[in-house]
Amino acid sequence: MTNFVKADRLAEVKVSEIVVMSEAARQRRAEGHDVINLGIGEPDFNTPDHANAAAIAAITDHDTHYPPIAGKPELRQAVAELYDGRGGIARGAANVLISGGSKYSLLNAMLASVNPGDEVIMLAPFWTSYADIVRLCGGIPVIISSDGANQFRPKLDEISATMTARTRWIMINSPNNPSGAVLTAGELRTIGDLIAAHPQAMLLSDEIYEHIVYTDQFVSVADALPDLAERTLIVSGVSKSYAMTGWRVGYGLGPQPLIAAMTAAQAQGTSGTATIAQAAAYAAITGNQSVLKTRKDIFQDRRDLVCRHIRAINGLNTTIPDGAFYVFPSWQSCIGWKTREGKVLLNDMDFCQFILEQANVVVIPGSSFSMPGYFRISYASSTEELDEAMRRLADAMSSLEPN
Ligand SMILES: Cc1ncc(COP(=O)(O)O)c(C=O)c1O
C-alpha cells in the first residue's frame, strides 16, 4: 500500500466537469456509439503551412538546444511589436515572457504574485482553470457573476464591494470563454478605475480569443487603459488564433518587474518553451495573417447556424455571442423536466449527461464555468457535424416531459 499523501495545495483542485464529460464520451464511443464532441475548446483547422515549415526548418537547422528561459529574443520582440506604441506606451522584448501556452503564462503570473490568502477577483462565467490556478498558488478566487439575461454583462457595481486589502488581481477575459461576451471600452474603463483606486491590485486581461470577434467592438486593454500599463498583464498566444493548441506557445506582456518575477517562476518550471514551437509561433505571428479573417468568417457562419437551431428548440435560449467559438445557452426553463426514463433533470451535469446519452452529443455544464443553468457548445467543428448535432439535440429535447 502506498503512503502517498496529497499536498494541501491540491485539496480544492478538483477533476473538472469537462474531464468528467470527456471520460463519459470516451466510454460511450468505446461502447460503439457515434458521439459528436462539441466540448472541445480548440479550432478544427490546421496550423498554417508557413508555421509548420518554420518548425521543420528549426529542426534541420539544429535549433534544438535549451531555449532562453524568457523566450527567443526575436519572438519576444515580435510580440512586443504587436503592442508597441499602442495607447502611447513603448513596449519592448523585456515586457514579454513566452511560456508553454497562455495557461502557463497565467500560472507564472499567479506563482509570481499571489501569497497564501491573497484574493483574485474573477467574473463568472470564466474559463474553468482560472480558479484552480489561483487555488494551486494558495490564493482565494472571489467570484462575481455576470448577468446572463443581459448578454453576460459583468456586474461591475459588485466588484468594488468585494475588493479588499488582499485583492491582488482582477482577472478578465474578453472575448469570453464560455459566453463569447466582449467587454466594451466603457466597461474596461470602469474596471480600470477600480484598479487605479486600489494600489495593491493589478489587472490581468486574457485576450486569447482577440482575433475571433464578429463585431468591431473588441478593445484590448492595451488601447483602453494605457494609463494602467504598469499595472496590467495581457495574456494571449497562438493556440486559438492560428490553430496551434498543440504547440503550446503563449505569452504575457506586462511591466518589467512582473515579467522578471514570472520568468524566475518559469525557470524552475519548464526552463522555457520548446525552440521548435517558438519558431513556428514566430512565423505565425509575423507571417501572412489572412487565415485570421477567413477562419473568423467560417466561425461566424457556424455561430449563426448553432444559434438559429438553439433558438428554435423549446426550453432552450441563447444570446448571440460576439466572439470566441462557443455558444452558451440557458436551459433554466427546463430544470425539473423529466426524461422518458423518468429521471428529473435538476442540475447542469444531469442535463449534459442526458444530452450525451440521448443525443450522443458532448456539451459542457455551465457550472464548470461557475454559471449554473447554462451549457457550453463549442462550434469548432464542421458545418455537417454541427447540423447533425443540432438535429440530435432538438430530438432529445423534444423527448423531455415538462413539469
Ligand atoms: C480563456 C482561455 N484562456 C487561456 C486558455 C489556454 O490556452 P493555451 O494554454 O492553449 O494558450 C484557454 C483555453 O481553452 C482559454 O479558453
pLDDT of residue 217 exceeding 90, the answer is no
Task: Evaluate: CB of 108 within 6 angstroms of ligand 1.
Answer: no
Q: How far is the centre of ligand 1, averaged over its atoms, from the C-alpha of 214 (Å)? A: 19
Here the cell at position 267 is 525557470
pLDDT in tens, 178-214: 999 999 999 999 999 999 999 999 999 999 999 999 9
* Contact 133 CB / ligand 1 (< 6 Å): no
The response to whether residue 368 sits with its C-beta less than 6 Å from ligand 1 reads no
Phi, psi for 165 (deg, rounded to 5) = -65, -15
Task: Report the side by side order of strands in the sheet with 202-206.
Answer: 96-99, 250-253, 232-237, 202-206, 167-173, 119-124, 140-147, 153-154
pLDDT of the residue at 263: 98
Rg of the Cα atoms in the chain: 21
Beta strands in 125-213 (DSSP E): 140-147, 153-154, 167-173, 202-206
CATH number of 8-46+291-398: 3.90.1150.10
Find out whether the beta carbon of 176 lies less than 6 Å from any atom of ligand 1. Answer: no
Residues 6+ positions from 155 with CB-CB distance below 8 Å? 144, 145, 146, 147
Q: What is the DSSP letter of 215?
A: S
116: its cell numbers? 497564501
What confidence score (pLDDT) does residue 36 get? 96
Instruction: Identify the H or E element spanning 97.
Output: strand 96-99
Q: What is the pLDDT of residue 216?
A: 84
Question: pLDDT at position 104, please?
Answer: 98
Least confidently predicted of 140-149, 259-268, 382-391: 140-149
Q: Could you identify the residue written with the cell 423518468? A: 342
φ, ψ dihedrals at 16, nearest 5°: -75, 160
Q: How much is the pTM?
A: 0.97
Q: What is the mean pLDDT of residues 101-121?
A: 98
The domain segmentation of the chain, as residue ranges, is 8-46+291-398, 49-286
**Residues 6 or more apart in contact with residue 26 via CB below 8 angstroms:** none
One-letter-per-residue 3-state SS of 25-79:
HHHHHHCCCCCEECCCCCCCCCCCHHHHHHHHHHHHCCCCCCCCCCCCHHHHHHH
309: CB partners within 8 A, 6+ apart: 390, 391, 393, 394
The answer, yes or no, to whether any atom of ligand 1 lies below 6 A from the CB of 105, is no
Task: List C-alpha distances in Å: 233 to 127, 156, 177, 191, 271.
Answer: 17, 20, 18, 14, 21
pLDDT, one tens digit per residue, over 266-289 is 999 999 999 999 999 999 999 999
In what helix (H) or strand (E) does residue 377 lie, and over which residues does it extend? strand 375-378
Compute the distance from residue 38 Cα to the ligand 1 centre, in Å. Answer: 16
Under DSSP, is residue 233 helix (H, G, I), strand (E, B) or coil? strand
Which band of pLDDT confidence, cut at 50, 70 and 90, is reported for residue 40? confident
**Grid coordinates belonging to 178:** 464560455
CB-ligand 1 contact for 127 (6 Å cutoff): yes
193 Cβ neighbours under 8 A, 6+ residues apart: none
DSSP assigned state of 330: B
Report the pLDDT value the prediction gives residue 227, as an integer from 0 to 100. Answer: 97
What does the angle CA 396 – CA 22 – CA 338 come to, to the nearest 5 degrees?
A: 30
| Per-residue pLDDT, 262 | 98
Confidence of residue 18 (pLDDT cuts 50, 70, 90): confident
Amino acid (one-letter) located at 292: L
Whole-angstrom distance, CA of residue 361 vs CA of residue 95: 43
Ligand 1 atom nearest residue 102's Cα = 11
CATH number of 49-286: 3.40.640.10
Going by C-alpha positions, the residue among 297, 379, 384, 339 that lies closest to residue 37 is 379
14: confidence class by pLDDT, cuts 50, 70, 90: confident
Residues 35-48, mean pLDDT to the nearest whole number: 94
> Looking at residues 249-271, what average pLDDT do you find?
98
Mean pLDDT (the chain) is 96
Distance of alpha carbon 397 from alpha carbon 337, whole angstroms: 10
Which residue's C-alpha comes closest to atom 13 of ligand 1?
A: 41
**Of the candidates 280, 312, 284, the residue with the CA atom closest to the CA atom of residue 387:** 312
Taking only the tens place, the pLDDT of each residue in 368-402 is 999 999 999 999 999 999 999 999 999 999 999 99
Same fold, 8-46+291-398 and 49-286: no
CA of 102 to the centre of ligand 1 (A): 6
Q: How confident is the model at residue 57, as a pLDDT?
A: 98
Report phi then psi at 331, rounded to 5: -115, 15
Count of other CB atoms within 10 angstroms of residue 361:
23
Strands 326-327 and 375-378, by their bridges, are antiparallel
